[in-house]
């Protein structure tokens, strides 16, 4: 369920701010009944009228993008840097990224215009696994890898259990490749975890999101999710 003013704004009727004014003024009806309460949540199938005219709600769309580096995970940027939605050029829908990858992180990012879906994917209890490949400074010891997998104390609390594996090392450059599978999605989580154990991240890529991979895609490429993939993700998540 989404907030009424958001649904009206998403349908392109007016801004979210003005939609609030319309609601308070009694110009909005949900399933035939005037609703003046701001923040009222409306189910996906509700009929919403503004001044007696039904609004057309956007059909939900779902995309998987291979985010390149030097791209912001947002719909616009005040410094005019490229944003992830620039890459999805086959839809007019008001899509946005589900969560964030850092400016310099590459990899798998989902985008949608479906607020319920996005919220359920990001819900902390949804436990959706995300697989990252990190190039780090130095060579983490077995003990360090175990600490990472048990959870690391960060300034916003201890991280949950992670699956951590050493992939390869480069003695000459003093770097290593580490794979981490986490189900949380805190800000800069992987970088903070590795920094905390003395192995700062030099490069980061998200290779998998649940069962989804980047197979067949190059940086900047995208594809629509198949209905069966969307259904499977919904099943995995808390609603
Ligand atoms: N963790 C990070 O530190 N950065 C990302 O972009 C994603 C996960």
Give the CATH number of the domain where residue 89 resides.
Answer: 3.30.70.580
**Contact 85 CB / ligand 1 (< 6 Å):** no
What's the domain count of the chain?
Answer: 3
- Residue 44 contacts residue 79 (beta carbons within 8 Å): no
Predicted pLDDT of residue 233: 97
Same domain, 101 and 216: yes
Same domain, 68 and 50: no
Find, among 93, 64, 68, the residue nearest to 83 by Cα. 68
Predicted pLDDT of residue 104: 98
Same domain, 218 and 120: yes
Same domain, 114 and 222: yes
Same domain, 204 and 226: no
Find, among 148, 143, 171, 174, the residue nearest to 159 by Cα. 148
- DSSP annotation string for 30-52: ETTEE---TT-EE-TT--EEETT
Same domain, 134 and 205: yes
Find, among 207, 4, 237, the residue nearest to 122 by Cα. 237
Same domain, 89 and 186: no
**Contact 131 CB / ligand 1 (< 6 Å):** no
Find, among 67, 61, 55, 116, the residue nearest to 94 by Cα. 61
**Rounded distance, CA 138 to CA 40, Å?**
52
pLDDT in tens, the chain (239 residues): 888 998 998 888 899 999 999 999 999 999 999 999 998 999 888 999 999 999 988 889 999 999 999 999 999 999 999 999 999 999 989 899 999 999 999 999 999 998 889 999 999 889 899 999 999 999 999 999 999 999 999 999 999 999 999 999 999 999 999 999 999 999 999 999 999 999 999 999 999 999 999 999 999 999 999 999 999 999 999 76
Same domain, 75 and 109: yes
Q: Which three-class secondary structure state does DSSP give residue 26? A: coil
Same domain, 30 and 68: no
CATH assignment of the domain containing 147? 3.30.70.1560
Q: Give me ligand 1 centre to Cα 105, in Å.
A: 7
Same domain, 45 and 109: no
Q: Which residues of 147-166 are buried (b: 16+ CB within 10 A; e: fewer)?
A: bbbeebeeeeeebeebebee
Same domain, 144 and 197: yes
**Contact 191 CB / ligand 1 (< 6 Å):** yes
Same domain, 216 and 203: no
Q: Give me ligand 1 centre to Cα 74, in Å.
A: 15
* Dihedral sign computed on CA atoms, order 56, 57, 60, 61: positive
Residue nearest to atom 7 of ligand 1 (CA): 101
CATH assignment of the domain containing 11? 3.10.290.10
E strand or H helix that includes residue 116? helix 115-122
Task: Quote the domain boundaries for residue 98.
Answer: 62-125+212-237
Identify the bridge partners of residue 1 per DSSP, sorted by sequence position: none
């Amino acid at each position: 369920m989404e907030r009424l003013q958001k649904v009206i704004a998403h349908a392109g009727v007016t801004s979210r701010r003005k939609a609030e004014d319309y609601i308070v003024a009694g110009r909005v009806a949900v399933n035939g009944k005037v609703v003046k309460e701001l923040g009222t949540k409306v189910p996906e199938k509700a009929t919403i009228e503004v001044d007696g005219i039904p609004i057309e709600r956007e059909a939900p769309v779902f995309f998987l993008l291979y985010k390149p580096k030097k791209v912001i995970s947002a719909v616009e940027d005040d410094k005019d840097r490229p944003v992830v939605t620039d890459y999805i050029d086959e839809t007019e829908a008001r899509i946005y990224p589900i969560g964030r990858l850092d400016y310099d992180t590459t990899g798998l990012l989902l985008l949608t215009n479906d607020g319920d879906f996005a919220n359920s994917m990001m819900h902390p209890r949804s436990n959706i696994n995300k697989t990252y490949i990190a190039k780090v400074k130095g060579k983490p010891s077995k003990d360090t890898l175990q600490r990472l997998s048990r959870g690391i104390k960060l300034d916003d609390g201890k991280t949950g259990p992670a699956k951590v594996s050493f992939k390869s090392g480069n003695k000459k450059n003093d770097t290593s490749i580490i794979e981490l599978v986490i189900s949380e999605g805190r800000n800069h989580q992987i970088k903070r975890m590795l920094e905390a154990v003395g192995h700062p991240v030099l490069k980061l890529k998200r290779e998998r999101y649940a069962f989804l991979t980047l197979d067949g895609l190059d940086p900047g490429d995208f594809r629509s999710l198949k209905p069966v993939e969307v259904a499977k993700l919904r099943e995995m998540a808390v609603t």
